[in-house]
Structure 1
């Protein structure tokens, strides 16, 4: 089979496609013929050696996969069948290949209405946002949710799920086009942080009260402004730092408003309890069946162009998800 290998820790230039032996499933594994795989910011950290779970080169990156079952381990007790279409989050990598092995508990059946490209970009982002807003952020109906990087892969799902939970959603994104995408996906207000102050606009929109929950996958200047535009007992959800600058939290600002700064690591949580982690994806898949969420794909690349796709992800040029197809 063909697979993308990270041959040296660093940037996308160290990725290359080569032939390798197909994997053999263990007792609890499900063998998948990969149809498509999603790219995530965590992939850029993993190939750079900066992700929480570190892999030694050469390894196959990729944490999000969609395909069909071609083999089932002897100890798998779930009612899975050969040929069944499934999607999964794969924290240990391995998705950027023509075939992959996935722990059976991590699999979620793909809705019949969902195509492979959409499915490949679904588990990680919808699982992360659902877990973040419900389990970590305790978002309540009627609260104000501020989403930073709202047109990105995870950000757009936070906009959609926040609306489904009954929140008023303020989307902050870079540029008028990305703001338009966020508004089409349910945001009540959009802030173009290339042209506007996040802090001033949030205060204006909320009439000085501020946001109750901040979903931050960006870090850097966006976080610095957002923490100065929150309500009493606000929850700052730290998802990632796509800007390149990790959030630095001023303790005095946390103190004066009883602000909670909350870490969100969906991958490690799923590793501890795969079935619980997968349940957040299943809930989102049910919403998809109802037409309540509409995943957005920004760009599709062939597997052989994985390095180019990773560069596109790092450029933050595209709204929505970037997908590899086999």
Structure 2
């Protein structure tokens, strides 16, 4: 069996993947940024593809996958893959939804706490002036966590993990997830809301944990932010395009939103000329202590990378054995 990794995000020769797959499996590793940088014969000869986020897996070149029995997205999100087009060609698409669950949930809570306890602001003020910056009231968003309401958009694996962490701080938990079966909330004691506007109007913190789909793209827009509870903090560790960055800029600038913590952006790396990014980078007074950024790193820890690579290989092998797991389309395995 031949497994192709076109856009590998590691430096070794698939050592973890080879160990997970066992004997009889050949790995071909590339670090391409476009599908055309991988030889056509490699696409045609592979039995499985393990892909990352760099290449867009869509278009007629999918016809080259004439032997391929599965595409495994090494990650949770699969918006860079045309899953319907793959299904039409009889190729299941599978993801790896559980490799970084705790890491992303931890990161979301860490970003929330950094703002609500003023950690980064204190450090910045003291670095600038160790004596004059010795003032507890400097950060603008410090508040007591107990009794606040933590709103979750998307109560899947990561959303649930984040919600459980928030509840450990004594916060009340609301969630909005129209895809979740009725009654799920009873298992955790969380409160369901039936609309995004309702969740936005009642939550002190809103943490996004939804996939990027046609429905969720730009979901946090001017209308959604207009419904936000005054002083609300928005945390996004999901997908950048879920949030309309122009609308977020306006909501922060006019004071409707208290703050935001973004691990993901609609364009990555950040666009330096976007008004919000420009104001943040220039440390303009109105945004000081109210915007926190990290470089799409919520998933990352050395342990999570090992899990991701191992589970990706195991998922490919399972599909090649005729039992695909974590399938995100309804294609049948090729005979």
* TM-score interval, smaller chain: 0.3 to 0.5
Higher strand share: 1
TM-score by length of 2: 0.43
TM-score by length of 1: 0.44
Q: Which is higher, the Rg of structure 1 or of structure 2?
A: 2
